[in-house]
Structure 1
Amino acid sequence: MSENVVVPTLPAENGIHVWRTAIVMPFITFIFVLIRFYCRSYVVRRPWGIDDYVVAATMVSIIVHAILMGIATYHGMGLHIWQFTPELNSEYYLWIGISSEFYVTSLAGFKCALLLLYLQLFGVNQKFRIACYLTMFYTLGYLTCNALTEFFGCHPIAKKWDMDLPGWCINRVVANIIYGAGHMTSDLIIGILPLVMVWRLQFRTTRQKIGLSLVLGCGLVAWAVACVRWAISTYDSLSYDRPWWSGISFTFSILEVNTGLICACAATFGPLFNNFSTQLRSWSDRATASLHNNSRKTTASWRSSQHDRDQPTYRHNSLSGDLPLMPPAAHIKGNINNSSEDGSYRMEPIVTSNAIPSPPSAKSDDEFSRFDLQGLQALHLEDGRIV
């Protein structure tokens, strides 16, 4: 690194992509979080559970992580190694160390939120419950080690961003590879766990089973992003031009935590979609019934007018005191109305309404109703086990 190198206006190079991603992705994730809490509070109408509080805390952690990543782009992240100065080098590793703590916290948040959701849905199965707790223990275990090594990985701690200080540091390349593998394996397990239970349930149609698998298996999207990030991060650790490749690696870090929380929120949108589809069907049925009734009324009115023109009008003379003459019974095809001013009898056709009753509104009386899964009503339990 040369001290005479002119540093471009920051953020530059790959740093601009990190900065843009740090602004856009938390905004999108925040919208999903708001929809989740709207669904919980106004559609399902239930108090918050522990998974909801975990999601809220994770959203805060993601926002802080994005802010720190954005600040890091003004301290050399994304530049080529030959564009660095000694000052930028120290600032770069300092901000990377701080932001990494919130990255680990965000990972732990969305992974635990998904596992807690699975426990609410399929916790009746003892083996599945044990598998979820073991996965949570494994996830929180290696993430805690990751956070500790990020903070205490060098002695003294300041040597992490000031390599000229005497002391020692752990092998960062090996640590990043190990922890990256932990991210991928935990995401893969979390993505597969609910699918094992879904395919053991009985549904009315295979389409319902596939739909639920797609909803609960959305955690595999976070796993795919984690795989890409781990591959780029590993190459970055072995590359000479580390700051430039870090710009790409940390872009995927932001995508990873935000995608994971989006998946944790999207898995709870079932009641909202159910409510919307119910309202849509209700509006459609009402419109169809209204058009059907209007058509029947128009047809009956036309037939009545034709009948009145073809048949004589029966009147009575109020001055002579004659009793009113009733039309023959053979001509009666409706209700008799003698409310006209001239005393004539008029026929009012009887119209029977065939309106289609509106379907009942969506209800959420059990834990499975958040996905509107009618197939779960066929769930068989024996001694607390799903069979």
Structure 2
Amino acid sequence: MSAADDGDRSGRVVVCAVVMTVLSALTVGLRFYVRGKLLGTLKSEDWFILLALFFSITSGASVIEESRHGLGRHVATVTPAEMTDFWKASYFDTLSYNFSLCCTKISILLLYLRVLTPDYIRKVIWVAFGIVVLYNAWAFAMELTICIPLAKEWDPSLPGYCHPTSVWWALTYIHIATDFMLFVIPIPVVVTMTIPTRRKAGLLFVFTLGLFVCLISVVRTIILSRLLDSADPMWDYVVIANWTSAETNAAIICACMPTLRPVLAALLKQR
């Protein structure tokens, strides 16, 4: 590791944000090619995943902006003005992160409603839909009122009120629970399908990719809990920023995989 890297890790943040966003953008582009060009069947879930990509891009842009104002450097080298700009960018990063994951989950549930036909599963999907919408409405309300006045979020010296950390932990745990909920929903249907074993295994593999996103969310939360009281947050939060980029973009990629079956089938056939 170079001496420069010892004092500045901002480059890692930029690389991770750019690489993950490019990968998710390519996947969404491929999804639109398959659904729009090959099949001619663009649906509402496709537009929601495009919206998720938009917010993932704004999240990545916010992370890069954070890196311009101290993220990746030791806090002792960051000026008060940079610190203020960092927390402003961090606020918009959090908003974009939540919006992106919300749109991804809605896209997944809309796809489930389209392809999973048993009545009992459709009822479960609608319940899950309600939980996701209500949870995100609460999360956005809390984020928009994170501090009163809002400027106190990036200027703690201002008089006012900010929500306690217990609110954010409650939201985090519900977020993880909804991740696992979406992962579990299609499994019983696929398992009971009367289709060839190889095709069933392929469907299970595609749908269980969501477990990967669940694990990313859990790992991110564990790391965040350990770094919450960090004495050098600008330096330590690089890890959180990278896991955030990984989570939003991996969620988009995994949500697109079931729609890429024609491409995946063609690739497997070539082999």
Letter in 1 for 2:196: R
Letter in 1 for 2:108: L
Of 109, 127, 135 in structure 1, the residue corresponding to residue 120 of structure 2 is 127
Aligned residues: 269
- Counterpart secondary structure, 1:79: coil
What CA distance in whole angstroms lies between the structure 1 residues aligned with 2:252 and 2:63? 18
- Counterpart secondary structure, 2:186: helix
Q: Which runs of 5+ in 2 are unaligned?
A: none
Of 187, 199, 216 in structure 2, the residue corresponding to residue 195 of structure 1 is 187
2:69 is matched with 75
More helix by share: 2
Instruction: Give yes or no for contact 1:232–1:245 (8 Å, CA) kept in 2.
Output: no
1:225-273 CA distance string (max 9 Å, x none) = 1111111112222333322222111211111000000001111111223
Q: Map of 1:269-284 to 2, 5 A cutoff?
A: 269-275=260-266, 280=270
Q: Give 1:146 shift.
A: 2.0
**Residues 125 and 98 from structure 1, CA distance in 2 versus in 1: closer, same or farther, beyond 3 angstroms?**
same
Of 32, 38, 42 in structure 2, the residue corresponding to residue 37 of structure 1 is 32
Instruction: Give yes or no for contact 1:81–1:242 (8 Å, CA) kept in 2.
Output: yes
**Residues 224 and 87 from structure 1, CA distance in 2 versus in 1: closer, same or farther, beyond 3 angstroms?**
same
Letter in 2 for 1:229: R
Letter in 2 for 1:156: P
Of 237, 251, 254 in structure 1, the residue corresponding to residue 245 of structure 2 is 254
**Residues 35 and 83 from structure 1, CA distance in 2 versus in 1: closer, same or farther, beyond 3 angstroms?**
same
RCO higher in 1 or 2 (8 Å CA, sep ≥ 6)?
Answer: 2
Q: Map of 1:160-171 to 2, 5 A cutoff?
A: 160-171=153-164
Radius of gyration: which is bigger? Answer: 1
1:204 is matched with 196
Q: Give 1:49 shift.
A: 0.5
Instruction: Give yes or no for contact 2:75–2:234 (8 Å, CA) kept in 1.
Output: yes
What CA distance in whole angstroms lies between the structure 2 residues aligned with 1:249 and 1:97? 14
2:136 counterpart of 1:143: yes
- Counterpart secondary structure, 2:185: helix
What CA distance in whole angstroms lies between the structure 2 residues aligned with 1:160 and 1:175? 15
1:124-176 CA distance string (max 9 Å, x none) = 222211211222222222222222222211111111111111112111x3233
Aligned-residue Cα RMSD (Å) equals 2.2
Letter in 2 for 1:184: I
The TM-score with structure 2 as length reference comes to 0.91
What CA distance in whole angstroms lies between the structure 2 residues aligned with 1:66 and 1:90? 19
What CA distance in whole angstroms lies between the structure 2 residues aligned with 1:273 and 1:230? 33
